[in-house]
Amino acid sequence: MNYQLIIFTRYPTPGKVKTRLIPAVGAAAAASLHRQMTERTLRHARALQAQIAAEIAVHFDGSDSQQMAQWLGADLVYQSQGEGDLGMRMDRSISSAHQQGAERVVLIGTDCPKLTADILAQAFTELLERDLVLGAALDGGYYLIGTRQPQPELFVGVEWGTDRVWQQTIAIANRLNLEIGYLPPLADIDRPEDLSILSEVDW
């Protein structure tokens, strides 16, 4: 079976990433944290490949494929996220992966420092029997979404960046009669008050 794990991230340019953390820690420290969290996420993605034969695709913003490969490695697939809001970009990435032959697609960001290879493996396992898999973020969004086929409706009419994302996505999925698999809730690091989580992270 053809699996693809899509990682959404940005090149760690100071002032361009983790902007909500900058007032608390400064642009350089915010960019360094983003770099560390992306690299940690990728380590767990690579560890997933010891359990499941999943292709890793990095969908990026703020750079080009060559610069991303120099940072994260030339063995990965790199693709620009393109234009549009977060929903448009996620829908485009997931739909494209399915159209290129992926039967199970999981998309994650890099803001969740407690995401592990085992949770990623659980996501793909859920998709063996369910239409959709979601991992709730404690801020009201989600840190992971996975599908068995394109589901463009899931990304329309959602208030991205708010604490209503999870609730709105579940409502859409229920309206579409999708069977949902749920992963453990995890914390994102987006705001200064989230930084205390870092002391609990296994880097």
Contact predicate 17/62, CB 8 Å = yes
* Model pLDDT for residues 62-82, shown as the tens digit of each residue: 999 999 999 999 999 999 999
CA distances from 135 to 35, 82, 114, 141, 157 (A): 22, 24, 12, 9, 19
Q: Is the pLDDT of residue 25 over 90?
A: yes
| Contact assessment for residue 78 and residue 58, using Cβ atoms and an 8 Å cutoff | yes
Residue 36 neighbours by CB under 8 Å, 6+ apart? 203
pLDDT band at 107 (very low <50, low <70, confident <90, very high): very high
Q: Supply the pTM of this predicted model.
A: 0.97
Q: How confident is the model at residue 203 (pLDDT cuts 50, 70, 90)?
A: confident
Instruction: Inform me whether the pLDDT recorded for 201 exceeds 90.
Output: no
Contacts of 175 (CB under 8 A, 6+ apart): none
Residue 1 in this model has a pLDDT that exceeds 90: no
Look at residue 202 in the predicted model and tell me its pLDDT.
Answer: 82
Q: What percent of the chain is predicted at pLDDT more than 70?
A: 100
The CATH number assigned to the domain holding 129 equals 3.90.550.10
Give the count of domains, the chain.
Answer: 1
Confidence at residue 93, expressed as pLDDT on a 0 to 100 scale: 99
- What's the pLDDT at 145? 99
Cα–Cα nearest to 164, from 141, 180, 143: 141
Mind listing the pLDDT tens digit for each residue in 126-153?
A: 999 999 999 999 999 999 999 999 999 9
Is the pLDDT reported for residue 101 higher than 90?
yes
Return mean pLDDT, the chain. 97
User: Which residues form the domain of 168?
Assistant: 3-200
